[in-house]
């Protein structure tokens, strides 16, 4: 254990670094937030930051995983109800809306943040994260199958299609602010109608 902090202090400080990091990253993004900005808010020396994280990118990445976990947990608890096809469309819309309203996720693809993270984080950590993302939707699809839904494609392809819709949501500016809502609605309708077999 690093000198200077007791175990309970380590937990408290790490929690504060995550809390203040989230606030600053949401407001300013990764590039415009310095380690000194974060440690000043927490009340520790800048050098002490490295007892908890190797870089601000690693802190950002941990916060990112926490935010994504919240979204995943919420999705797994949603009920398909009487009209599963409409429910799935609404689930995808809800997921996209949550991402659009979570600045730290938006910064990821709009401010070269992903490139900075890729440069700083160990490849195995990134690989584990992306594999986890890919694996997440498979149990969700299997859960939908319990409702009696059948798909035109294997679960991994359905998963890939749904992830593509999420990635498309980061291209709002390129698509055009005015055209974006109807465009996304069209792609969601087309994707869900295409992968679900008619009863």
Look up the CATH number of the domain holding residue 39: 1.10.10.60
Does residue 18 contact residue 103 with C-beta atoms inside 8 Å?
no
For residues 34 and 128, membership in a common domain is answered with no
Q: Is the pLDDT of residue 78 over 70?
A: no
Q: Is the pLDDT of residue 186 over 90?
A: yes
For residues 127 and 47, membership in a common domain is answered with no
Distance (Å, rounded) from C-alpha 100 to C-alpha 195?
A: 25
For residues 42 and 67, membership in a common domain is answered with no
Q: Would you tell me how many other CB atoms lie within 10 Å of the CB of residue 25?
A: 25
Question: For the chain, what is the total number of helices (H) and then of strands (E)?
Answer: 10, 0
What pLDDT, on a 0 to 100 scale, did the predictor assign at position 108?
77
For residues 67 and 30, membership in a common domain is answered with no
Q: Is the pLDDT of residue 13 over 90?
A: yes
Distance (Å, rounded) from C-alpha 40 to C-alpha 45?
A: 7
For residues 145 and 115, membership in a common domain is answered with yes
Of the residues 53, 74, 91, the one at which a domain ends: 53
Minimal CA–CA distance to 2: which of 47, 32, 40?
47
For residues 41 and 92, membership in a common domain is answered with no
Does residue 44 contact residue 37 with C-beta atoms inside 8 Å?
no
For residues 166 and 113, membership in a common domain is answered with yes
**Burial group, residue 184, by CB count within 10 angstroms (0-12, 13-18, 19+):** buried
Distance (Å, rounded) from C-alpha 124 to C-alpha 113?
A: 18
- Overall domain count for the chain: 2
Tokens coding 85:
């096809």
For residues 96 and 144, membership in a common domain is answered with yes
Q: What CATH number does residue 95 fall under?
A: 1.10.357
Q: Is the pLDDT of residue 63 over 70?
A: yes
Minimal CA–CA distance to 17: which of 60, 65, 71?
60
- When mean pLDDT is compared across 19-23, 50-54, 58-62, 76-80, the lowest value belongs to 76-80
Residue 59: alpha-carbon gap to chain centroid:
14
Q: The domain containing residue 30 runs over which residues?
A: 1-53
What pLDDT, on a 0 to 100 scale, did the predictor assign at position 135?
65
Distance (Å, rounded) from C-alpha 53 to C-alpha 96?
A: 30
Give 146's pLDDT tier (boundaries 50, 70, 90): confident
For residues 84 and 155, membership in a common domain is answered with yes
For residues 189 and 99, membership in a common domain is answered with yes
**pTM for the full model?**
0.76
């Amino acid at each position: 254990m690093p000198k200077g902090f007791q175990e309970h202090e380590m937990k408290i400080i790490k929690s504060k670094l995550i809390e203040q990091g989230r606030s600053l990253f949401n407001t300013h993004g990764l590039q415009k937030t310095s380690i000194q900005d974060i440690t000043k808010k927490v009340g520790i020396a800048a050098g002490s930051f490295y007892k908890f994280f190797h870089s601000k990118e690693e802190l950002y990445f941990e916060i990112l995983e926490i935010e994504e976990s919240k979204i995943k947990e919420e999705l797994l608890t949603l009920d398909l109800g009487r009209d599963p096809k409409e429910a799935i469309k609404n689930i995808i819309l809800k997921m996209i809306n949550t991402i659009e309203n979570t600045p730290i996720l938006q910064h990821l693809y709009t401010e070269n943040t992903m490139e900075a993270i890729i440069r700083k984080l160990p490849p195995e950590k990134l690989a584990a994260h992306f594999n986890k993302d890919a694996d997440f939707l498979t149990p969700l699809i299997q859960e939908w199958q319990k409702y009696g839904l059948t798909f035109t494609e294997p679960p991994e392809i359905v998963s890939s299609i749904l992830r593509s819709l999420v990635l498309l949501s980061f291209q709002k500016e390129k698509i055009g602010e005015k055209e974006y809502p109807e465009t996304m609605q069209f792609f969601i309708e087309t994707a869900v109608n295409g992968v679900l077999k008619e009863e």
